[in-house]
Structure 1
Amino acid sequence: MEAAVPKREHPRVKRVLLPSFYLAPVEYYAALLHAHSAQVEVHDHYQKQSYRNRCVIAGANGPMTLSIPVEKAKSDTAPMRDTRISDHGHWRHLHWNAILSAYNSTPFFPYYEDEFRPFYEQRIPFLHDFNERLRQLVCRLIGIETPVSYTTRYIECPNENQQPSGEGTFQENGKLERKRQTKGSKQQEQKGQAEQSEQLDQSDQTDERIIDLREAIHPKRPSCLTTPPYYQVFSERLGFLPNLSIIDLLFNLGNESRLYLAQISHPRHFSLFL
């Protein structure tokens, strides 16, 4: 069954604020593609039963959740960036076998298998690093070139007229690069903040949209995304399963994944593509 893709494309928003997810669902990458730039929140608290350590794929018997075990934090307020992956239960072996079983017969899995396998053969200590390296790989394979930076502090409820701050940028080596402050730079920083405030006042007149999606994409909440059916291996028996992990789209549609993401529609209350 060929993908039924709407013809209408949506204008891009200025910036989105996103959490760090494990092989995030389709709507996450749709939002990322449609933004001029994005920030990933790394100072939020780790949340259980979220996409931060889990993804959902299409198993032979229906949706299958893959969860990464994490070590217990020393504090309930520990930031996401400090959350460590646990080696308990041979989860890497189990996850890769589940992915093989689910997607080995898809049209494009053979082309991408060698790109993903190393993530399940090596030990990456921190969940954030693991998630972001996978995200970088997915963006490269799909062709999503939206610049991504990282927050340097927790962003308090930004709205459409507020620009999230942060100077981190994601480099090719997967590390978070931060600008260093030299002695005497505080005065320059204060001056820069005043100038930035003035610039933000001016930006209010240019319809600059900042969309906070940190809590919008969650396995316990229905998706705001309207996803036309695309080919899935088990669709004849299970029907179409919407908004699964991005690898479901990638392994089934391959290089057409970007076109699908570019044209799928959102309802107005999602406020991304108005």
Structure 2
Amino acid sequence: MMNIILHPTYFPNIKHFVAMANAEEVCFEMDDNFIKQTYRNRANIYGANGKLTLNIPVVYSQKNRQKYRDVKIFNDENWQSNHWKSLESAYRTSPFFEFYEDELQPLFTEKADFILDFNLKCFEVVCVCLQLDLNLTQSTTFEKEITDKTDFRPLVNAKKETAPNFDSYTQVFSNKHGFIPNLSILDLLFNEGPNALNYLESQQLNVL
């Protein structure tokens, strides 16, 4: 088992969780700059029409470099309510939506100010749902080259994705659009329930 470093993201995708479930120690990168069009503020779920991206709007300008931890959420949009409605319509008929609903719903009603703080809160709730107990640390400075851990930080890039060779599981709309791999952990949780952790621990992720 290895020590890894990766970015906290919005309801991390299955690749992120496979890496974490199979690691001895997980370090979250806390000192990087915010970059747009990454999983820092987006998650993919399986909607009735196929893959659906949930984006958290942020107050951010490319001109001034900003640390991820300093980026604020743009709360003038009613994004939390919209995301919850999307999750409900996507997963209401899944086997375990109701099982986890009470744990997750408060995340979409309590106002959140900073994207990183919110992502960490979502992550904590998901770990409780998964019954996943991780040995977690946080970085204190940004290091471009990592020598003492396996660097899974590139997983944050939503654009440069290669499809993982993961086992398929039953998804709500798979009879319409087939199996869609590497969606948000919520897809696995709502479809597989208490078996989700076994699934994560049994998958292999190639070192980047």
Q: Provide the TM-score with structure 2 as the length reference.
A: 0.95
Moved over 3 A (4+): none
**What RMSD in Å do the two structures reach over aligned CA positions?**
1.5
Gaps of 5+ in 2: none
Deviation at 1:215, TM superposition (A): 1.5
Deviation at 1:73, TM superposition (A): 5.0
Deviation at 1:154, TM superposition (A): 0.7
2:57 pairs with 1:118 = no
Match for 2:161 among 200, 222, 226? 222
CA contact (8 A) 1:73 1:83 kept: no
2:202 pairs with 1:263 = yes
Where does 1:165-180 land on structure 2 (aligned, <5 Å)? Answer: none
Q: State the distance in 1 between where 2:154 and 2:145 align.
A: 11
Q: Which moved more, 1:244-253 or 1:210-219?
A: 210-219
Q: State the distance in 1 between where 2:204 and 2:33 align.
A: 31
Match for 1:252 among 152, 167, 191? 191
Amino acid at match of 1:250: L
Amino acid at match of 2:189: L
Gaps of 5+ in 1: 1-11, 164-209
2:128 pairs with 1:140 = yes
Q: State the distance in 2 between where 1:252 and 1:218 align.
A: 25
Q: State the distance in 2 between where 1:88 and 1:124 align.
A: 12
SS state at 2:53 partner: strand
Q: Deviations over 1:68-105 (max 9, x none)?
A: 00112596321111111111321111100000000000
Pairs aligned (count): 208
Q: Which moved more, 1:115-124 or 1:147-156?
A: 147-156
SS state at 1:241 partner: coil
Q: Deviations over 1:27-77 (max 9, x none)?
A: 101101111111111111111010000000000000000000011259632
2:77 pairs with 1:89 = yes
Amino acid at match of 1:235: S
Query: 1:202 — aligned with what?
Result: none
**Rg: which structure is higher?**
1
2:94 pairs with 1:106 = yes
2:46 pairs with 1:58 = yes
Q: Provide the TM-score with structure 1 as the length reference.
A: 0.73
CA contact (8 A) 2:26 2:134 kept: yes
Q: Deviations over 1:143-197 (max 9, x none)?
A: 2212111111112210xxx23xxxxxxxxxxxxxxxxxxxxxxxxxxxxxxxxxx
Give the % identical residues: 33
Amino acid at match of 2:203: I
Deviation at 1:214, TM superposition (A): 1.1
CA contact (8 A) 2:15 2:155 kept: no
SS state at 2:133 partner: coil
CA contact (8 A) 1:144 1:258 kept: yes
Where does 1:207-218 land on structure 2 (aligned, <5 Å)? Answer: 210-218=149-157
CA contact (8 A) 2:40 2:156 kept: no
